[in-house]
Each structure stands twice: as C-alpha cells, then as structure tokens.
C-alpha cells in the first residue's frame, strides 16, 4: 500500500492497482527488490567476465540504450513509454517462462529449483544540473 501497488476495498480485501511491483515512491524505497536486482546484475556481470570463451553455459548479455541529447519533456515521455513497453515485454517473457516451467525435471516429485533464469530491466535517468 505504501508504494501504490494495492489498496484495500470496502470488503477488506486487497486489490491490485498496478500490474507490476513499484518499489519506490517520492519518499520511500523498498530495499529488498532493489538489492535483489543489484545482486542479480552483479552476478551476471561476474559470470560474463569470468566465463572462458569456449564455455557451454547459456550466453549471458548486458544490453542498454541511452541518449544524452534529449529534452526534459522528451525524457519524461520516454520514461512513460519505456515503463509501458517494458511491462508488456516482461509479461510476454513471464508467459513464456510459465508455459515452459512444466518441462522442469522433477526430483522426488518436486521441481528442481536450482536453475533460475530471467531478465531484469531498469531505467537510466540522470540530471546533469543536479550532478546525478
């Protein structure tokens, strides 16, 4: 409720307001999701840097797009556009993972949870006038 993701309805039940998890507000930031994302990003980077050229592990990647030649108004429009499009993209990826999750090998009747795959997306936005 603090981040505007859910609200309590008149029946005392929680309703999802946004179809994605917002981890910050103007005055608060949820540490767990941010630290988990940074851990995943650091782990991926470490694996990329340590991997021998002839490795048989899945190809890991780090991709980004950015521009330093954009107005404040266009930056705000880009942030809204990126939020909407990345949500649609992540929902499509989540559907794919869900559809393929039934193929996971089972040990003693339980799914082997030792393998974890996914994709994380973050927004880059700096303000040169504020030094950030």
Contact by Cβ (8 Å): 51, 57: yes
In a domain, 109, yes or no: yes
Give the pLDDT of residue 60. 75
Angle at 87 between CA 92 and CA 29, to 5 degrees: 135
The reply to whether 88 falls in a domain is: yes
Phi, psi of 90 (to 5 degrees): -65, -35
- pLDDT exceeds 90 at position 77: yes
**Is 32 part of any domain?**
no
pLDDT per position as a tens digit, 85-100: 998 999 999 999 988 8
Q: What pLDDT, on the 0 to 100 scale, is given for residue 51?
A: 78
Band of pLDDT at residue 41, cut at 50, 70 and 90: confident
Helix (H) or strand (E) holding 98: helix 72-100
In a domain, 48, yes or no: no
C-alpha dihedral (106, 120, 35, 129), degrees to nearest 10: 180
Residue 51, domain member (yes or no): no
DSSP string, 18-46: SSS---B-SS-B-HHHHHHHHHHHHHHHH
Predicted pLDDT at 61? 76
- pTM for this prediction: 0.62
Residue 76 is part of which domain span? 69-132
For residues 91-125, one letter each, b for 16 or more C-beta atoms within 10 angstroms of the residue's C-beta and e for the rest, the string is eeeeeeeeeeeeeeeeeeeeeeeeeeeeeeeeeee
Q: Is residue 77 part of a domain?
A: yes
- Given a cut of 60, is residue 131 above it in pLDDT? no
Give the chain's domain count: 1
**Residue 41: count of CB within 10 angstroms of its CB:** 13
**1-16 mean pLDDT:** 84
CA angle (124, 16, 4) in 5-degree steps: 50
pLDDT tens digit string along 47-76? 778 877 777 666 777 788 889 899 999 999
pLDDT score for 2:
75
Domain annotation covers residue 79: yes
């Amino acid at each position: 409720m603090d981040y505007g993701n859910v609200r309590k309805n008149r029946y005392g039940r929680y309703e999802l307001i946004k179809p994605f998890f917002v981890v910050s507000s103007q005055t608060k930031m949820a540490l767990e999701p941010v630290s988990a994302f940074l851990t995943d990003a650091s782990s991926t980077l470490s694996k990329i840097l340590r991997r021998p050229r002839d490795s048989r592990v899945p190809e890991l990647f780090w991709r980004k797009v950015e521009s330093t030649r954009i107005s404040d108004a266009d930056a705000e429009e880009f942030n809204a556009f990126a939020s909407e499009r990345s949500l649609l993209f992540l929902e499509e990826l989540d559907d794919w993972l869900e559809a393929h999750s039934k193929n996971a090998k089972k040990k003693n009747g339980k799914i082997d949870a030792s393998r974890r795959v996914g994709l994380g997306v973050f927004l880059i936005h700096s303000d040169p006038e504020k030094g950030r």
